[in-house]
Amino acid sequence: MSKGRVLAAMSGGVDSSVAAALLRDDGYEVIGAMMRFWPDAKRVSTFDSCCSPDAAYEARRVADHLGLPFYLLDYRDVFEENIIQPFVAEYAAGRTPNPCVLCNSKVKFDHLVKKALMLGCDFVATGHYVQRLEGATGPEFHRGSDPRKDQTYFLWGTPRDALERVLFPVGHMEKPAVRELARGYGLITAEKPESQDICFVPGTIQSYLGERLTPKAGEVVDLRGKVVGEHEGAQFYTLGQKKGMKLFQTHLERFVVRIDTATNRVVVGSKEDCYTTTLTAVGANLLVDELPELVNAQIRYRTASVPARVTAVTPESFSVELLEPQFAVTPGQSVVLYDGARLLGGGFIRTDAVRSPPFEHAQVAKSGSSYR
């Protein structure tokens, strides 16, 4: 007997291909599906990314090879409203978004789960490197077994009522083993390289934003308000950045510490000025009834989590004190909370996150910085 019907989200990559194959072999009734995001005006430079026209062709071939039905679902309007428009708006506001977070929380594990239920499916499966484990109070998300591939950071926004509907067949595996399985299955995606680009951005983010926003040159100022250079558009910068500005004194190393869209100014300082020990997150989604006082907090995907103390929690936000100061805690990015390997939830780092550099003024003065 079937273990249930699964809508397998297939991106045209090796991970989702193997996930579908494993579910089939494990006794599930598997239906392959890809969400169409790309517009009618296709751009060749996006064809090698995930969820692109070429990827859809490869996903269909994998489904055919595995003997699975396959459907291309039109999600263009959903993607435009929930991903592209917020992406552009965040940059316009001086923040740096991560669209993959919204794609998972608003599209894959919200709209797609609801679509799966409408189609009579019991589950949605993806190729994420995440483990869904049964806990004392129900399903829990835990880090993937491969620390280099763990993707729980992107899944903090998953609605709690969707936890029991999501399967991650490769979450307990390491990438080389997944590729070896793909070769054993004879899948055309077995050697396909990983896509590192934002799927809907052809070329650079700067050129993409330049087509949708009106960049305006402005002043680069130091922390005292002194003009020290020029920029080509505040939306093109992010915290911690030190390139791309026309500075009058190029011998000093300067980093972006704040973006003031109201005055169209980019504020720069020393590297020490970019460190943060406290922050507040909004748009919070918690996967537990109550956060422990001590957690591990991760402020970006490729940064290790650090110990943190939860100092305040509301239904929509939380604040934490980072016990190890972090460089360039960036508004618009996510701060994700863990208890060991278990994903507890997360939120979007707020623009007015409190900046508390851990360095004494005397230490900075000795370093030769001119920004205090």
Domains of the chain: 5-185 (3.40.50.620), 214-269 (2.30.30.280), 273-349 (2.40.30.10)
C-beta separation of 105 from 159 below 8 A: yes
Res 37: pLDDT: 83
The angle that helices 175-185 and 14-25 make with each other, rounded to 10 degrees, is 70
d(C-alpha 342, C-alpha 336), whole Å: 11
pLDDT per residue of the chain (372 residues) written in tens, 0 to 9: 679 999 999 999 999 999 999 999 999 999 999 998 876 655 444 445 566 778 889 999 999 999 999 999 999 999 999 999 999 999 999 999 999 999 999 999 999 999 999 999 999 999 999 999 999 999 999 999 999 999 999 999 999 999 999 999 999 999 999 999 999 999 999 999 887 678 888 778 888 888 888 889 999 999 999 999 999 999 889 999 998 889 998 788 999 999 998 899 999 999 999 999 999 999 999 999 999 999 999 999 989 999 999 999 999 999 999 999 999 999 999 999 999 999 999 999 996 655 544 433 323 333 333 322
In the numeric block, which tokens belong to residue 189?
Answer: 């995606």
Active-site amino acid positions = 103, 199
- Core vs surface per residue 174-194: b (16+ CB within 10 A) or e: bbeebbebbeebebbbbebee
Res 366: pLDDT: 31
Res 364: pLDDT: 32
What's the Cα-to-Cα distance from 242 to each of 212, 234, 260, rounded to whole Å?
24, 13, 16
Res 26: pLDDT: 97
pTM for this prediction: 0.89
> pLDDT tens digits for 291-343?
999 999 999 998 999 999 999 999 999 999 999 999 999 999 999 999 999 99
Res 48: pLDDT: 52
Res 49: pLDDT: 59
> Of 299, 301, 304, 305, nearest to 339 (Cα)?
305
Res 314: pLDDT: 95
